Chain A
Amino acid sequence: MNFIENISSFQNIIYIASSILFITGIKMLGKEDTAVKGNFLSAFAMFIAVSITLINVINPLLILIGIGIGAIIGSLIALKVKMTSIPEMVALFNGFGGLATFFIAWSEFNSLPANTFQYVLIMITTFIGGVTFSGSVVAYGKLSERLKVDKSSIITKIFTTIFYISLIYLIYSIVIAKIFTPSFDFYSILLILTLLGGIGFVIPIGGGDMPVVISLLNSFSGIAAAFAGLLLLNNVLIVAGSLVGASGLILTIIMAKAMNRSIGNILFVGYASSSSGPKSEETGEVKPINVSDAYLILENASSVLVIPGYGMAVAQAQHVVRELGELLETNGTEVKYGIHPVAGRMPGHMNVLLAEANVPYDVLVEPDDVNPSMDSVDVAVVIGANDVVNPSATEEPGSPIYGMPIIEAHNARTVFVLKRSMSSGFAGVQNPLFFKENTRMLFGDAKESIGGLVAEFKE
């Protein structure tokens, strides 16, 4: 029993070539200059792997119809979707990949597996694929704000419990597979529990933690594909799936580090139950500012740092922000954008929005690059960001977000905070930045406020 006998050697050689192209492609995807080419290379790798597999397909007509439908739906969504909806689109595509592996495992169960190990692989693949699918659909619902469920509601609790039950059932079915051959009834319970459990996996996780969940689900879809590869004895599935699993895992770790929390804490605890130490007494008062006064200060500034957050995405303010940036530059001001890794709802969310508004990526800076020289920044303009600029993270050991790396906007000479109201951020922590001596609050919709500043500059 050599695995090469299962599929012809020729196919295997093509799979190896495809694997190499995938590896090169994903490597190139990690650098700005080569990213577009890297994506093409990986698409080409996919093309040859699929083409060579099509040769010995049993029912070509049905398969080609399936590919055709998938191609039309996928392309339409990809080309029509607005750039601001990218987070939920990625979540949805990811879910479909998971659903495909879920069906693969199901079909393999019906082809009567030869040994215990295959049964175990089927159970695991079903579980990961199913959780990826329903979890991603919930993430899609949350990101597109179609689904609003309170963390402490009874629905959340029921689904969370089902998730744990499904996990226990998975372990049970792996153990039991050694003793007797699982019946279809036994397996169908796993199918249902898995799909419901996936809902419970994502439903308690709040908006600001979404970047972590999205990356993790991305990783899962890869791992599911890799397990399907073990099941079908196919090496290209294993290689490509593992690459995705690893890249998703790394992004998950980067996101968790940027919040100074463990992955377990984000998934299973959330901010609500983190110990609330001594609450900081709010000292000083909030100093509001209006658009024309803000304009006067900006006009005389020689360096400005824009710090966007989820609020900029909500207000769709990226285009006016770019316009303001350009006007400031013509006025002789140096403009940079400070981007926190977890600002927004997915990894790199702010980068995509600003790129859409034609902001070149080389004026975007990361917290580590901008913090040391923050005292030379004349005005830091915080647009709809909150937790990522909260000085409690560095000053208050009792705060739930203590230790989280932030953009130290409070060290700039003047700070403008554009905000709709005084509500706290996702973490539910009050932000002392708003009460600092050098902070001015510009209340109102970010798009309107920035638009007002743009109008002042044009006059």
Chain B
Amino acid sequence: MEEYVLLGFVLILSIYLGLELISKVPSTLHTPLMSGANAISGIALVGALMLGSDSQLQEILAFLAVTFASINVFGGYLVTNRMLKMFKKK
């Protein structure tokens, strides 16, 4: 149980940090920020890589998790980059 307390602590601190970091974002960047954050949620890929493969079902689940998380990661970062490149100053 001890490790959960520790990781729960990390969780709370990270949420607090996130709220502080992003509280003031110009509305120009709302979409790129959302899209960029979306790419970061593809971190589930790391979780997918840690899955066990004791049964065939688990192998399939791990494969699917890896594939979909990868779509999220690659698609998310590329779309964000494409969008940000369009924003120009006068």
Contact = CB atoms under 8 A, between A and B. Distances in A.
Which secondary structure dominates chain B's binding surface? helix
Contacts of A70: 66-74
Interface string A12-52: 00000000001101110111100110111011001001100
Given A3-B6, A54-B49, A107 B62 contact: yes
Contact of B79 (A42, A86, A106, A230): A86
Nearest to B62: A107
Contacts, number: 379
A400 interface: no
Interface string A75-98: 101110101001001100110110
Contacts of A248: 34, 37
Nearest to B69: A100
Given A30-B33, A230-B7, A103 B48 contact: yes
The secondary structure that dominates the A interface is: helix
Contacts of B49: 50, 53-54, 57, 63
Contacts of A7: 50
B52 A30 contact: no
Interface residues of A, number: 112
Contacts of B61: 103-104, 106-107, 110
Contacts of A53: 46, 49-50
Interface string A423-455: 000000000000000000000000000000000
A316 interface: no
A394 B73 CA distance: 43
Contact of B73 (A29, A46, A108): A46
Interface string B1-40: 1111011101100111111011111111111111111111
A361 B66 contact: no
B63 A225 contact: no
B90 A107 contact: no
A78 B82 contact: yes
Contact of B47 (A39, A78, A79, A228): A228
A251 interface: yes
A246 B22 contact: yes
A117 B44 contact: no
Contacts of A230: 4, 7-8, 11
Nearest to A343: B27
A316 to B, nearest CB: 16
A162 interface: no
Nearest to B90: A360
B9 to A, nearest CB: 10
Nearest to A132: B41
A90 B35 contact: yes
Residue among B19, B38, B58 having the largest count of chain A Cβ atoms under 10 Å? B38
B69 A79 contact: no
A111 B82 contact: no
A30 B7 contact: no
A356 B87 CA distance: 8
Contact of A104 (B7, B47, B59, B72): B47
Contacts of B83: 83, 86, 352, 355
Contacts of A83: 83, 86
A456 to B, nearest CB: 25
A125 B13 CA distance: 20
A61 B78 CA distance: 25
B34 A117 contact: no
B78 A78 contact: yes
A306 B64 CA distance: 46
Nearest to B61: A107
A66 B11 contact: no
A424 B81 CA distance: 36
10 contacts: A31-B29, A39-B84, A42-B39, A46-B40, A93-B39, A93-B76, A100-B72, A230-B7, A246-B17, A247-B22
CB-based closest 5 A-B pairs: A70-B70, A246-B18, A348-B30, A74-B74, A74-B75
Given A222-B41, A241-B41, A351-B87, 18 more contacts: A29-B36, A32-B28, A46-B42, A50-B73, A66-B70, A90-B35, A93-B72, A104-B65, A110-B54, A221-B41, A230-B7, A233-B7, A238-B11, A245-B18, A355-B87, A358-B86, A360-B90, A366-B27
